[in-house]
Amino acid sequence: MDFATLGITVLWTFLYGYVVIASIDFGAGFYNFYAKLTNQDNIITPIINRYLNPVWEVTNVFFVFFFVGIVGFFPDTAYYLGTVLLIPASISLIMLAIRGSYYAFNQYSKGTNMVWTFLYGVTGLFIPASLSVALVISEGGFIEETAAGLDLDYVELFFSGYTWSVVFLAVISVLYISSGFLLFYSNRAKAKQAVHLTRTWFLTWTIPMLVISQFVFLELRATNREHFDNATQNYWYFFLCSIVFMAIAVYLVYKKKNYGIAFIMVMLQFAFAFFGYGISKLPYILYPFIKLDAVVNDSMAIALVIVFVLGLLLLIPSLIILMRLFLFDKDYVQGKE
């Protein structure tokens, strides 16, 4: 495997990791707010807090890891994406900042505050929406090269059907993944009411999930035909697997059994869709400006790969400890400490 392929595989895997754990986090914030509005917060809020308190910071690192990594392996992305994303990424950053800080403010300050819960909950849906714009732009057609330099065509972006289908896909995925996880966690916590509530949420989002996925495909066909053809002709089996895993997850939840397996199925569903999308996109990272071969010089690539392997040797055991303490420790999950 050459460095470029290795680099993009590593980065894409981290982005996938971020999509899953950030979705849990973003969705939890929104559900927390929703539960408070409907006076159900005593059922679900303690469970959300028990999970999120020790891990929210780690979630953020996955994101930092991705954007530092992509500049490291593919420095040209810093120039193209950095230039055109000034406004969209700044908006995402401001919302991330509000969300991250107000989570802590809310958590460690005396008495929770409805305004803070609101800020925390609503930004949880706007952030994935605004971050997903980066993926839309990478399909090509939105960047103009003028004499003054690169610029983003906001009109084109705003009126594109593809933009909106991806934005809705992001938001619905967040609510879908998050409810799947909270269902599993509530079940482990033996909180009956919470199980009931989160199960309803999960089943509610299955149909919109299916519908929006179809829309994304239709719009991709109009936006970047080459990518669409590659996905449907060469890599169709990724998307087929994804649908099968989704069917299993929904079946298990509907039959009220094996919520843990059901969540693993949800993760597989997204893994196959995400990697299928990623592979069919290659060799372009940013269509048509950056191809996979825009990787850094060899000596840096070797150094990055070595550091990456060493880093993982340190990270994986640490993450396992974290999960064993707060995810798989029965007493902790059930609130007994």
Per CB under 8 A, 134 contacts another protein: no
User: Segment 295-324, which members bind another protein (CB under 8 A)?
Assistant: 296-297, 299-300, 303-304, 307-308, 311, 314-315, 318-319, 321-322
Per CB under 8 A, 67 contacts another protein: yes
Per CB under 8 A, 53 contacts another protein: yes
Closest contact distance (angstroms) between CB of 194 and another protein is: 20
The vertex-4 CA angle with 297 and 16, nearest 5°, equals 130
Tokens of residue 21, six digits = 């754990």
User: Segment 199-218, which members bind another protein (CB under 8 A)?
Assistant: none
> Which one of the spans 22-30, 55-63, 176-184, 238-246 is the region binding another protein (CB under 8 A)?
55-63
Nearer to another protein, 222 or 302 (CB): 302
Nearer to another protein, 74 or 176 (CB): 74
Do residues 12 and 69 make contact, with C-beta atoms less than 8 angstroms apart? no
Per CB under 8 A, 69 contacts another protein: yes
Do residues 202 and 253 make contact, with C-beta atoms less than 8 angstroms apart? yes
3-state DSSP assignment of residue 143 = strand
Terminal Cα-to-Cα distance of the chain (whole angstroms): 46
> Which one of the spans 18-26, 60-68, 160-168, 256-264 is the region binding another protein (CB under 8 A)?
60-68
Dist CA 272 CA 114 (whole Å): 38
Do residues 123 and 99 make contact, with C-beta atoms less than 8 angstroms apart? yes
User: Segment 76-95, which members bind another protein (CB under 8 A)?
Assistant: 76, 78-87, 89-91, 93-94
Do residues 52 and 45 make contact, with C-beta atoms less than 8 angstroms apart? no
Number of residues counted as binding another protein (CB under 8 A): 71
Tokens of residue 299, six digits = 């000596």
Q: Which of 11, 20, 44, 98 binds another protein (CB under 8 A)?
A: 98
Closest CA to 208 of 182, 174, 234: 174
Per CB under 8 A, 156 contacts another protein: no
Nearer to another protein, 56 or 184 (CB): 56
Dist CA 88 CA 185 (whole Å): 34
